[in-house]
Structure 1
Amino acid sequence: KPVHSTVGVKKIEQETWRETGISFVTSVTRLMERLLDYRDCMKGDETENKKIGCTVNLLNFYKSEINKEEMYIRYIHKLCDMHLQAENYTEAAFTLLLYWELLHWDERPLKEFLHYPAQSEWHRKEGLCRKVIHYFNKGKCWEYGIPLCRELAFQYESLFDYQSLSWIRKMEAAYYDNIMEQQRLEPEFFRIGFYGRKFPFFLRNKEFVCRGHDYERLEAFQQRMLGEFPQAIAMQHPNQPDEAILQCDAQYLQIYAVTPVPDSIGVLQMDRVPDRIKSFYRVNNVRRFRYDRPFHKGPKDRDNEFKSLWIERTTLILTHPLPGISRWFEVEKRELVEVSPLENAISVVENKNQELRTLISQYQHKQLHGNINLLSMTLNGVIDAAVNGGIARYQEAFFDKEYISSHPEDTDKITQLKDLMQEQVHILGVGLAVHEKLVHPEMRPLHKKLIDQFQMMRSSLCHVRANTPRGILASHSPMSPESFKLLHRHRSATHAHTRTHTITIGETVRMLRMLFVSSLSHSQHLILITQLKFSSIFLSPDVSTDQTRCFQIRSSPRLI
């Protein structure tokens, strides 16, 4: 390959058609590289992944570089057959969709081609559409099949073909039912780098992100890749390889898990959307993937490592979104940023709040029912971590006077972190109220333990607020009415002797409602809270006025 390419260029570099000739020689060289890779993959006992990757490489060349439509269509069907043989039904659907997109809803006659009979372009496009919809159904990607159902429905309706219209509408309805009723697993994603000159051209010194199979985890994926490349050496670090590895006559594999960064943020932030729907948008039509590497900048703080714990965040951007015509696509671009310890704390708490909100909402709206072990474990994990580590460590690291005075530029971020912590208290209060309704009598001791630890968590946040400059933590997050009722019941059973004043339930409800009235002044809020305090609704009589301030409630609380 290097010989004929170099000789060809030298022969024409003095000619008047030099530019055209160089372009031609370059295209032929690139085509031969791909054809030789394709021949080697097909004639040997290579795995389906290698054959598919090589075919995708050749197919893209025919489409983008030399525009040979007939060869492009032939390789579309070869690739589709490979996917079907490997039971990659979603990828088979996307592959056949490439041919469907080339056709139009016209009556132009088409000749016999491959396994297609002589027919009108409209009928060929219709047949392809039905087949693609069928493959999306087998791959459980009904969201991709629904727009094609609508496309067919439009065509049938315009032709007054009501029998076909009825059939396709029923299929579309069945797909919506499948989305809500059938279980689907979220796949894992893995970044894999192929380094060294012993790899085929289409893999050599390139990195890809692969969509794993159902139930496939990192260790299983690594074993599968090493099985497909038995001569390869697994690299044990995530650092970029040096030039010596890139140019060596060997094979090195570098594999680690990555996290998808979805583009469809809107639907993921809608509280009433069931998680079965959100799950699809978290892991489909994704081009960006993230990998975090923690490191300590400067001397490591022995007492609290969170103070010096930075994150090196690498974002990988692919040539095409996953899923697509292949289970893996090449990394087109890398973005590298460093996340400060405070920014990392904000991200961790924010993600945990979203996770809690989603889970609690599922139990509230009866999307999850019966066994509440998941809710119990999640609440216990968050509350226990908040008391014994996690949030408590963040408070020590970022809320003390020394850090605040030495990092005035972080004022807004410290406020944001405090708000997220208070928001977590609110969410946990709702979660505990839901947990109390669903918990089995035998699990009451666990529930009581959660309540006790939750009170310690609130007290810890109050303590931080009392010792933090007012300008830093001036905002307040709501505490849910569910938390008030829950803690009232708990204290009624354990601290009845501390009551100094009692009020009726009606008066209590009235005062709680008044707390959410936006026209009330700050002093009026404090008066109401003080009255509730001495009625033992949520505070014992020995809590100071400074501590009661941290329970001021916003006029528009954020509900799950």
Structure 2
Amino acid sequence: SFSAVSFRTQLFGPYPSLLEKIEQETWRETGISFVTSVTRLMERLLDYRECMKGDEMENKKIGGSSNLMNFYKSEMNKEEMYIRYIHKLCDLHLQAEDYTESAFTLLLYWELLHWEDRPLREFLHYPTQSEWQRKEGLSRKVLHYFNKGKCWEYGISLCRELAFQYETLYDYQSLSWIRKMEAAYYDNIIEQQRIEPEFFRMGFYGRKFPFFLRNKEFVCRGYDYERLEDFQQRMLGEFPQAIAMQHPNQPDDALLQSDAQYLQIYAVTPVSDITDVPQLERVPERIKSFYRINNVTRFHYDRPFHKGPKDRENEFRSLWIERTTLILSRPLPGISRWAEVERRELVEVSPLENAIYVVENKTQELRTLISQYQHRQHHGNINPLSMLLNGVIDAAVNGGIARYQEAFFDKEYINSQPEDTERIAQLNDLMQEQVHILGVGLAVHEKLVHPEMRPLHKKLIDQFHMMRAGLHQVSGSTCCSVCVCVCACQCKYSEQSLYVAQQGLPAGYTGVNSPRGILTTHSHMSPESVRLIHRHRSVSHRFHLRKRCYSNLNVTTF
């Protein structure tokens, strides 16, 4: 690629004295700024020309176009060229059937326009028309693309914007049309199936990559059903000269400056802010799931390690997590499936905190999938539910939760780590919640399972009873160790009676729909009578509520 020095040498080569004079005169800074801008433009134009060759993949073309488009806006301030490349980028997205990205790209032009009657000249494929008309036409096109991309939530705000304009003009026919479209979008959110994509972090290292990729890292939103192995193969197909790095470590300077291409790919997890909004706790799972994976700028990945000597009896006690959080320059989805990583943060997660995270996330995965089956989204294919239930229950019986119990519910650990008392109670609550969700999942599975799969279902039921019995036994001792001490450290109240006391319900209440009801009843469960229960209080709130309840019952807490 061009450098500022080489470009200036080519420009002023025969006249070195002229170059020296410019550098010494008052316009020196302006001249250098101009040459630098032209150099940066040439770098991007050369990359764009290389990427737009006929045999190149769509992702390279999209990346080159996006890079040049942003340059015209941020550094050259050339609005007309910026708009041209907006439409070039939109066309590339449409060719790749990336309709959501097409919508976000066209919104860049939409944001430049105003709801005014100012006349606009013919431009690109737009006829001579008023600014209001052009913005309205763009609005309808963006709505069409959001609909095809199944991102109806983004379209709803645009529907409201158009409705306001139509109402202002008393255009009731158009107002009726846009309100019906908004209603249809809400229906689609409730009824239509949407696949949650996976996200992948990519690092492009070495001087052989195009300028807009070189020694940078990105997070990419994968296609529906695309897994890590599929994504890796796709990227290596687009960059056939690249060498796949087999570790997640950061590259050294020698690798960054090498005349080669090194490609580093691994999966990352989106970090949504939705958990910080209390009023969303009662929102149905299928609605919340959209906000967990959209409009996200933070992603993380974990590296396990043992701090100090490895615990030989139970490695979970010494297993720490190094969590790296990637912060993007813009949210996903957006004008591209890729977004550049702007900065990274690194924290260490303790073994107990990691156990809480693992159990909570697995419960969330269960809740999401069970909700989909309750809404008949999988068209009779029960295999995903069978596999997930089998994986969680089998792991809980043969390890998993049982190992967490051994590691953190032990009296010796509790006494040696008094500052972890609340977290231990939190982990206990999460385990109980996971058992409840598993019970709901088994009820759904019982209704949908095929006759030939009945033996598997019976095995799951038997293992579930073993898991529940083991959890009750350990939870009882934990309750004594962590929460209460009555004479010889025996609990006076069970989980069920505690729930009854908290809710002010009559003694002996055993409703299946209580948060712990599924643990205290052995009657037949059906999907109609059992529904997923969202936590209406945070775990820490329940912990403090439990302490207050025991205090009211004249039970000593410590």
TM-score of the pair, normalised by structure 2:
0.79
Between 211-220 and 270-279, the greater mean CA deviation after superposition:
270-279
The CA distance in 2 between the partners of 1:10 and 1:463, in whole Å, is 85
CA gap 1:274/1:368 in 2 versus in 1, 3 angstroms: farther
Q: Deviations over 1:129-177 (max 9, x none)?
A: 1111112222222222222122112111211112222222222222222
The CA distance in 2 between the partners of 1:321 and 1:157, in whole Å, is 32
The CA distance in 1 between the partners of 2:110 and 2:116, in whole Å, is 13
Show the 5 A alignment for 1:224-235: 224-235=234-245
CA gap 1:267/1:360 in 2 versus in 1, 3 angstroms: farther
- Say which of 300, 324, 332 aligns to 1:322: 332
Q: Does 1:53 align with 2:63?
A: yes
Tell me, yes or no, if the aligned pair for 1:195 and 1:205 is still in contact at 8 Å: yes
CA gap 1:337/1:10 in 2 versus in 1, 3 angstroms: farther
Between 443-452 and 32-41, the greater mean CA deviation after superposition:
443-452
Task: Count residues in correspondence.
Answer: 500
What letter matches 1:316 in structure 2? L
Q: Does 1:202 align with 2:212?
A: yes
The CA distance in 2 between the partners of 1:357 and 1:479, in whole Å, is 26
Query: Any idea what SS the aligned residue of 1:184 has?
Result: coil
- Say which of 148, 151, 160 aligns to 1:150: 160
Query: Any idea what SS the aligned residue of 1:472 has?
Result: helix
What letter matches 2:168 in structure 1? S
CA gap 1:169/1:64 in 2 versus in 1, 3 angstroms: same
Tell me, yes or no, if the aligned pair for 1:515 and 1:555 is still in contact at 8 Å: no
* 1:127 match: 137
Identity of aligned residues (%): 79
Between 34-43 and 95-104, the greater mean CA deviation after superposition:
34-43
* 2:188 match: 178
Query: Structure 1 residue 450: deviation in Å?
Result: 4.7
* 1:386 match: 396
* 2:290 match: 280
Query: Structure 1 residue 469: deviation in Å?
Result: 8.3
The CA distance in 2 between the partners of 1:110 and 1:187, in whole Å, is 40
Tell me, yes or no, if the aligned pair for 1:258 and 1:290 is still in contact at 8 Å: yes
Q: Does 1:95 align with 2:95?
A: no
CA gap 1:303/1:101 in 2 versus in 1, 3 angstroms: same
The CA distance in 2 between the partners of 1:218 and 1:269, in whole Å, is 34
Show the 5 A alignment for 1:364-513: 377-431=387-441, 449-450=459-460, 452-465=462-475, 467-468=477-478, 470=480, 472-474=482-484
Q: Does 1:211 align with 2:221?
A: yes
The CA distance in 2 between the partners of 1:255 and 1:35, in whole Å, is 27
The CA distance in 2 between the partners of 1:338 and 1:177, in whole Å, is 43
* 1:351 match: 361
What letter matches 1:56 in structure 2? S
Q: Does 1:300 align with 2:329?
A: no
Query: Structure 1 residue 315: deviation in Å?
Result: 1.2
The CA distance in 2 between the partners of 1:30 and 1:403, in whole Å, is 60
* 1:22 match: 32
Query: Structure 1 residue 127: deviation in Å?
Result: 1.0
The CA distance in 2 between the partners of 1:227 and 1:446, in whole Å, is 40
The CA distance in 2 between the partners of 1:19 and 1:225, in whole Å, is 42
Tell me, yes or no, if the aligned pair for 2:159 and 2:178 is still in contact at 8 Å: yes
CA gap 1:440/1:57 in 2 versus in 1, 3 angstroms: closer
Query: Any idea what SS the aligned residue of 1:416 has?
Result: helix
Query: Any idea what SS the aligned residue of 2:209 has?
Result: coil
The CA distance in 2 between the partners of 1:480 and 1:412, in whole Å, is 17
Between 334-343 and 448-457, the greater mean CA deviation after superposition:
448-457
CA gap 1:375/1:53 in 2 versus in 1, 3 angstroms: closer
TM-score of the pair, normalised by structure 1:
0.79
Tell me, yes or no, if the aligned pair for 1:198 and 1:251 is still in contact at 8 Å: yes
CA gap 1:439/1:252 in 2 versus in 1, 3 angstroms: closer
Query: Structure 1 residue 56: deviation in Å?
Result: 0.6
Query: Structure 1 residue 36: deviation in Å?
Result: 1.8
CA gap 1:245/1:434 in 2 versus in 1, 3 angstroms: closer
Query: Structure 1 residue 249: deviation in Å?
Result: 0.6
Between 36-45 and 423-432, the greater mean CA deviation after superposition:
423-432
Specify every segment of 5 or more residues in structure 2 that has no aligned partner in the other structure, as ranges: 13-18, 486-490, 509-519, 523-545, 550-558
The CA distance in 1 between the partners of 2:446 and 2:495, in whole Å, is 15
Between 189-198 and 405-414, the greater mean CA deviation after superposition:
405-414
* 1:246 match: 256
The CA distance in 1 between the partners of 2:213 and 2:109, in whole Å, is 26
Q: Deviations over 1:307-339 (max 9, x none)?
A: 222222111111111111111111111111121
RMSD: 3.5
The CA distance in 1 between the partners of 2:307 and 2:38, in whole Å, is 51
The CA distance in 1 between the partners of 2:233 and 2:254, in whole Å, is 25
Tell me, yes or no, if the aligned pair for 2:286 and 2:371 is still in contact at 8 Å: no
Larger-gyration structure (1/2): 1
Query: Structure 1 residue 91: deviation in Å?
Result: 1.2
CA gap 1:46/1:378 in 2 versus in 1, 3 angstroms: closer
Query: Any idea what SS the aligned residue of 2:298 has?
Result: strand
CA gap 1:282/1:173 in 2 versus in 1, 3 angstroms: same
The CA distance in 2 between the partners of 1:152 and 1:16, in whole Å, is 52
Query: Any idea what SS the aligned residue of 1:260 has?
Result: strand
Q: Does 1:265 align with 2:275?
A: yes
* 1:167 match: 177
Q: Deviations over 1:367-413 (max 9, x none)?
A: 78967665555444433332321111011112223323433332332
What letter matches 1:134 in structure 2? H
Tell me, yes or no, if the aligned pair for 2:242 and 2:262 is still in contact at 8 Å: yes
What letter matches 1:131 in structure 2? K
Between 15-24 and 444-453, the greater mean CA deviation after superposition:
444-453
* 1:190 match: 200
CA gap 1:555/1:382 in 2 versus in 1, 3 angstroms: farther
Specify every segment of 5 or more residues in structure 1 that has no aligned partner in the other structure, as ranges: 482-510, 526-536, 540-552
Tell me, yes or no, if the aligned pair for 1:364 and 1:434 is still in contact at 8 Å: yes
What letter matches 2:349 in structure 1? V
- Say which of 252, 266, 279 aligns to 1:256: 266
CA gap 1:141/1:364 in 2 versus in 1, 3 angstroms: closer
